[in-house]
Every structure is written in C-alpha cells, then in structure tokens.
Amino acid sequence: MQNLSNFIRRRDFISLHDFTTEEIKILLDVAGELKRMQKLGIAHPYLQGKTLAMIFQKSSTRTRVAFEVGMYQLGGCALFLNPRDIQLGRGEAIKDTAMVLSRMVDGIMIRTFAHEEVLELARWADVPVINGLTDLLHPTQVLGDMLTIKEHKGKLQGLKLTFLGDGNNVAHSLLFGGAKMGMDVVVSSPGGFEPDKNILAAAQEDALKTKSVLTVEKDLQKAIAGADVVYTDVWASMGQEETAGDKEKHFTDYQLNSKLLSLAKPDAIVLHCLPAKRGKEITDEVMDGPQSVIMDEAENRLHAHKAIMALLM
C-alpha cells in the first residue's frame, strides 16, 4: 500500500480528468483488494490514527455511510460536519475553513452544490480534498461504477456504456471515466439537457489517448443498441425539486423499462447511482430484474471510497 500511495499521495480527488489511466487502474485495483480483505475479515488499518472531515452541504445516504464506515474500517475516524454545525454555514470564508481544518485533520471530503467551492477549498487546504459530489461532477460515484462494471464484465476497455437522462454531474464523470479507461460512452438526453460542452470537449481530449468514442445521441434506439452497460439517474438532481414536474415532461420517453433495455446486448448490466424514483426514470421490473447490478454498485461505493482515502491520505 505504501508503494502504491506514492503515485497519488496527498493529491486532491476532484475530477477523474485529473488522473491518468494508470492511476485510475491503481485506484480500482486497490478498491478490489480492500473489498477482498473486508469480505475475508482481514483487518486493514492503513489509516490508523488519521481523521477525515466530512462537510455535507447536501444530504446523503451512500456517500456519508461509505466514507464514514470506510474510514472506520481503515482504522481512522470520520467527522460529520453540516452547515448547521460549523461556521462555514454562518458565512465563514471557505479559505479560513480550509486552513483551520488542515491544522486538525488529515483529509477533507466535501459534498456541495457549487463546484467552485470544492476548488476553493482545495486551493487553500494543505491536506487532500475529496469531491463527494458537486452540481458539475460526481467522481467518487463513477469510480464505484467502474469497479462494478469491471467485476461483472471483466474489463472496461472496449465496452459500450449508454447513459439515459439528464446530462448531469454523473453523466459528466462517466464521460471522463470512460475516456480515461477506453470505454465508449453514449449520453442520450432530450434537447436542452445535454452534457456541458466544456466537459464533453475535455473528455474527448482524454479519449484521443485511449481511442474511446464519446457521443451525445438523442435517438434512443441508436444510443442503446449494442450497449454492454445501461445507466440511468433521476431526472431532477438534488436542488432541482421545484422544476422536477416540468423536467419530467421532457424525459418520459427516456424511462429505462424492459422494452428499452431489450435493445441493448442480452447480457447488458443496469446501473443507477441512487436514490431512484421508481416508476419514473426506471421501472421496478428493470431495477429488481436479473440484469440489474444496482445494489452491487451501491456497495462498491464503500470499497472505491476506501481506496481513495487509503491512497491519498
């Protein structure tokens, strides 16, 4: 672990775009090994005596539990901080919060709305900063996604992943992750809800090195045909609840149901980052069906997050 840590130790984990293909492979390999050890009951206290501060501007189930339990299993301690408990929620500058926490903890995880807040935190912190989610990116989720795909498909390179729905933070990180690992990624969104053009352009630059193909395709049949992995997400992300009703009118045809799934490869697997709005973006039949690996995906958040912490901190 110490030798592997030298690759990315004390780095920030803000975007998969910031890491090389080899570094992401190491993260995935370590995640797999930590999972194996945890299943066998082998202790792995690589972060004994270390502390992670967890700042949550957005509510969470999987992110909080994965980081908190993961830190415990690694022998360390995690502190849950919400805006009501810390001065950041009362107007303290991010700069000051970053510098103070850096004197007391060994790493900071933040889950927030504006991506700029994570960048500002990382600018002033002297310890690794982990992006637990912003409105722009969700890299920790996609690392767990890639671990799940690798487990079920045996590889990442050369696979086709189709994402259905809003071109959101998950779609953006899937574009970066696919480009880095040689997966073809198709994002199928209604007009006006496509991925950010700057993110797509940056991901396409990454894709030149791995020869993966990144596509934005409105035609659902073209998008899902031949897919090895079919991925969906809620149509209205956290913080967009007021516009959810209006957005749903544009996304009705993008529901992942058995008819649409039948257009993918027969052995295609289904992913969803959760929480899911059953009966909206995905049906019970698909979510609970034999092609769904959604619960494996949720569990793998734990192992992927542990790899990030173990290697960075």
Spot the catalytic one: 233, 255, 291, 303.
233
Spot the catalytic one: 172, 255, 273, 305.
273
Active site residue 73: no
Query: 211-245 burial, b for 16+ CB within 10 Å, e for fewer?
Result: ebebbbbeeeeebbeebbbbbbbbbbbeeeeeeee
Q: At what angle do helices 169-181 and 197-210 cross, to 10 degrees?
A: 20
Active site residue 138: yes
CA atoms within 13 A on the CB side of 223: 24
Cis check for the bond before 266: say yes or no (omega within 30 of 0). Answer: no
Active site residue 111: yes
Residue 114's alpha-carbon distances to 131, 151, 196, 198, 212, in angstroms, are 11, 33, 15, 16, 29
Q: By CB neighbour count within 10 A (0-12 exposed, 13-18 middle, 19+ buried), where does 48 fall?
A: exposed
Bridge partner list, 55:
81, 110
Q: What tokens appear for 81 in the block?
A: 């901080």
Active site residue 77: no
Q: How far apart are CA 283 and CA 184, in angstroms?
A: 25
Residue 147's alpha-carbon distances to 61, 150, 242, 291, in angstroms, are 19, 5, 34, 17
Residues 58/113, Cβ–Cβ less than 8 Å: yes
Active site residue 233: yes
Spot the catalytic one: 73, 141, 255, 291.
141
CB atoms within 10 A of CB 40: 7
Length of the chain (residues): 313
Residues 74/309, Cβ–Cβ less than 8 Å: yes
Spot the catalytic one: 111, 115, 303, 305.
111
Spot the catalytic one: 138, 172, 272, 303.
138
Active site residue 273: yes
Residues labelled as active-site residues:
111, 138, 141, 233, 273, 301
